[in-house]
Amino acid sequence: MLQTKNLTKVFTTEEVETTALNKVNLEVQEGEFVAVMGPSGCGKSTLLHIAGMLDNPTNGEYYFMGEEVSKYSEKKRANLRKGNIGFVFQSFNLIDELTVFENIELPLLYLGVSTAERKKIVNERLEQLELIPRKNHFPQQISGGQQQRVAVARALIADPKVILADEPTGNLDSSHGDEVMKLLVDLNEKGTTVIMVTHSPAYADYANRVIHLFDGHIVTENLKEQYNKHMRPLSEVTG
């Protein structure tokens, strides 16, 4: 599904040069659920941004669905992202001027889906996430947990092949965090590839592979044989 070869990202200012990723070699197969862990500043979010083609590496190669995309222009990256990659961010990134319904609908507008089909798909997702009563509310009128569920719904609405989640539970209590994790697990079990950045060992435990980054390097990888804890409550996982 995606592969990096000697992937390097250097951020340069007038005063300092910072290596966020240093010759990272990673391969993620179709249908995997991979958690990426490590201390703040180790390169986790940078890796996710490059994986999602929100940024290009400084050096190295990045293959997405067999295409080497590391030198693509923003326009080519955007065209490849559409319909293939869904993003879930800790900060929600909802558009304040749009209602819950309109925020979730937005990716379908970009894909040219008809009005009737958009309405059907969005209402199905709203019902699944128990957001129907909030469909005409604006983001600032709903709770943080509800905002994150809207963000998840928007990421899933076009049935992308890959979900990239950057601390998707970071602003949520344990109950709402469990809801988001169950959604990601359900998607993964239906075949969607999931790559999730997290600081939480308990949430990383939902993945079938855990990658640890430190100072821009992959230092360890832990592979599990099966998802043996996915459907257990978080309190049991952590207890």
Sign of CA dihedral 118, 121, 127, 130: negative
pLDDT at 225: 54
Nearest CA-CA partner of 21 in 2, 49, 52, 1:
49
Entry pTM: 0.84
If one counts every other C-beta atom within 10 angstroms of the C-beta of residue 94, the result is: 22
Q: What is the pLDDT of residues 166-178, one digit of tens each?
A: 988 877 778 778 8
Q: What is the pLDDT of residues 77-97, one digit of tens each?
A: 988 988 799 998 877 889 999
pLDDT at 232: 40
CA distance 201 to 211: 11
Q: What is the pLDDT of residues 39-82, one digit of tens each?
A: 988 999 999 999 999 999 999 999 999 999 998 999 999 889 88
181 to each of 20, 176, 200, 238, how far by Cα in Å?
27, 9, 12, 14
Helix (H, G, I), strand (E, B) or coil at 213: strand
Nearest CA-CA partner of 10 in 19, 2, 132, 1:
19
* Cβ atoms 11, 18 nearer than 8 A: yes
Helix (H) or strand (E) holding 19: strand 17-28
Phi, psi for 9 (deg, rounded to 5): -130, 120
pLDDT at 173: 79
Count of residues for the chain? 239
Q: What is the pLDDT of residues 177-210, one digit of tens each?
A: 887 888 889 889 989 999 999 999 999 999 999 9
Q: What is the pLDDT of residues 21-45, one digit of tens each?
A: 999 999 999 999 999 999 988 999 9
CA distance 176 to 180: 6
CA distance 132 to 164: 25
- Position 75, amino acid: K
CA distance 172 to 74: 32
Q: What is the DSSP letter of 56?
A: -
Helix (H) or strand (E) holding 18: strand 17-28
Alpha-helical segments (H) within the chain: 44-51, 74-81, 100-110, 115-128, 144-156, 174-189, 201-204, 234-238
First to last CA, the chain: 34
The two three-digit tokens of residue 145, written as one number:
């947990």
* Cβ atoms 161, 66 nearer than 8 A: no
pLDDT at 161: 93
